[in-house]
Structure 1
Amino acid sequence: MKKSLVSVILVASMMLSIGGCGLKKKNDSKILEGNWKADLECEKIVTDELSKDEDTKSNNMAMIDAIKKYADFNELEAIVTFKFNQDGTYSIEPDLEQWNSTWGAFSTAALNGAREYYKSIGVGDAMVEGFESKEEFLGYSIAYTLMDLRIPITKAVFVQQNGKYKAINGKLYINKDSSKDVDITTDYYGTYEITGDSELTVKNRDGVEYICQKE
């Protein structure tokens, strides 16, 4: 009887120990140390944004298909580098010069696709109040479309910041004030996933995903 009681206590102790390990927070801050470069999937960012409204989704996808005849989304490169330092500080650094240059070349080609799309649905065939000519309205529609393409990518690129960070249990916390410690109750940034030792996926609260390779 006494041996049985001892056995039960030992088993219970082991279970509590295992359970405690499962609840322990896994701090990956050290694993993240280094520079991680993300080459953004620009086409995905655009299509995700333009697919949010079900009423316009079909037309938006048709417009993107027309643009892809002239402009290659694979050449629309946007680069962001995450730097996690040994002292617990971080920085997010976009290559803005590269992005603006790449966008200039892409938008020139995309303009032809947007024009073809709007012509196919009759935009520019009739006068619209507030515009001096059919061509002016067509030009306005094209410019508005290019802005729709640019804004979500630019939003993902313009993330330049620095401060302190913590990476715990797949959640990334950052404080932009480097004079203060990270507070995991208020400083949630997004999620992270480490694959092997060379790939890091970070997804912020806006749903933008950065797939990074270690430099």
Structure 2
Amino acid sequence: MLTACLLLLFAYLTGSVSGSLMLGRLRGVDIRTQGSGNAGGTNAFRTQGAKFALGVVLVDIGKGALSAWLALRFAPVEGGPSPRALAFLAAFVAAMGHVWPVWHGFRGGKGVGTLLGGMAVLWPMALLPLFAVWVGVLVASGYVGLASIIATACLVPLAWWMQVDRPAQVFSVAAALLVLFTHRVNVRRLRDGTESRFERVRFWRRRA
């Protein structure tokens, strides 16, 4: 159990390394003071450009993947949760570190990239349908937050359809709830009609 706790602690501390804030310090900016105020890839793209946002996304995905891989590799064979269950838990804890980073005053991003990193290691078959849903909703609506919420929510029926193991099932529900929670402000803005929209990705509307 000590090894499992240390792996989860490492996952949280690694998740707390925010890509946008770390790279922002190198540029002399704190993106939490710009745009939407969120320390995530979307706000990084809007305020700092594509290259900066790509670096942010790679860091955020990478820490989720690293946390899951280390837990899978070094999980105790006997006692406690199974290696796969511990790895899913580590990926989720890393996402919590991203949302509430100890290194950055507990003000982080929304956790989507870090969750995807963990899934790339533990449940890669889910990534393509998830990405297809995300792109479809984004192109149809122009709302990144809405696309993230709906795509992550699709993990729940996808887990049932693919008949995955129990750790993946639990992870799908936990991930969907976490993403919904971290996007609660976006939901409020959608309801009020004030949510920012990416009109450039709405190709069908431009052709019309």
Q: TM-score range by the shorter chain?
A: under 0.3
Q: TM-score, normalised by structure 2?
A: 0.27
More strand by share: 1
More helix by share: 2
